[in-house]
A = this chain, B = another copy of it.
């Protein structure tokens, strides 16, 4: 059952993930099943400080990549809000970076504008999902458009798609996961005897951790993901804000605590959890927990991640992402393109 489908796509942001999405779209010989998307045009790519490229008749993606790789920027100049208002698009992919102190306000503005303008929206920015999902989903519904967010949790592993489309008929009772790579990597290094500071520096060298690791270490990134899961997947939606998610700080973990856990045949993990306490009460937590080695959560190392979904009929289903790369995250956007193509 295919909707009328002729998307004219506007990308906001063009970081690593955005470039990988365009590389995949530009290479159907290497990724043959991309053809199943049917016809689409990319009508614009707008960045904050590296220029913009627009073409209402559709950009040549190979040339876009050449220009970027040659010059490290685009020649055009337009800001996102103007591009949303003035470009002839019907699908906006919001890929600007998450701004936790600003509670995603800028991305929320972009998405509001895009939906009001009659576009579908793919958001890779977690802010709108954590802080404004209820409002944005209502707006999308009123306008007869879709809003989807597959990359925001577990990179591109289609957890939202799985739960919303492949687990229909179930009530979702609980969600538990290891969803933050930095803390998971750091805990793994600390198990080897590396100090917290050295482990964080190592994660930064690998590109896993941000220059300022505070939001990861203090559980904010995980709390944002917990809010996103609860807001999108519970029915009725949770309206859980990250500020309401209880957080443990990784800075509280001592080498002794790690050794004690190991002595008990267990590992410390930062576990995200959310469940509906009652109709009006959804609880979210980011807890440092001791996980026995017989639990699959104990095996999730490095940048891998895991989510356990507890349902009323199908029971417990666990989905694991093993050693993701940039393509995995890019796939989230492609998954969302398919989902918008097919309706909900």
Contact = CB atoms under 8 A, between A and B. Distances in A.
Nearest to A156: B314
Contacts of A156: 314
Given A33-B235, A162-B162, A334 B322 contact: no
A169 B33 contact: yes
A342 interface: yes
A322 B316 contact: yes
A132 B33 CA distance: 25
A317 B321 contact: yes
A270 to B, nearest CB: 19
A224 B294 CA distance: 29
A98 interface: no
Given A168-B33, A299-B294, A313 B342 contact: no
Given A162-B162, A296-B320, A1 B342 contact: yes
A289 interface: no
B335 A325 contact: no
Interface string A1-42: 111000000000000000000001000001111101100000
A125 interface: no
Contacts of A161: 165-166
A322 B318 contact: yes
A331 interface: yes
A315 B321 contact: yes
A36 B169 contact: yes
Given A158-B167, A314-B331, A315-B324, 20 more contacts: A1-B3, A1-B343, A31-B171, A31-B312, A157-B314, A162-B166, A165-B166, A169-B335, A296-B320, A313-B328, A313-B330, A313-B331, A315-B323, A315-B327, A316-B321, A316-B322, A317-B322, A318-B320, A318-B322, A320-B320
19 contacts: A1-B343, A1-B344, A30-B312, A33-B169, A33-B170, A36-B169, A162-B162, A162-B166, A168-B335, A169-B331, A169-B337, A293-B293, A313-B327, A314-B328, A314-B335, A315-B322, A315-B323, A315-B324, A315-B325
6 cross-chain pairs, A with B, having the tightest CB-CB distances, nearest first: A1-B1, A1-B343, A314-B331, A318-B320, A316-B322, A161-B166
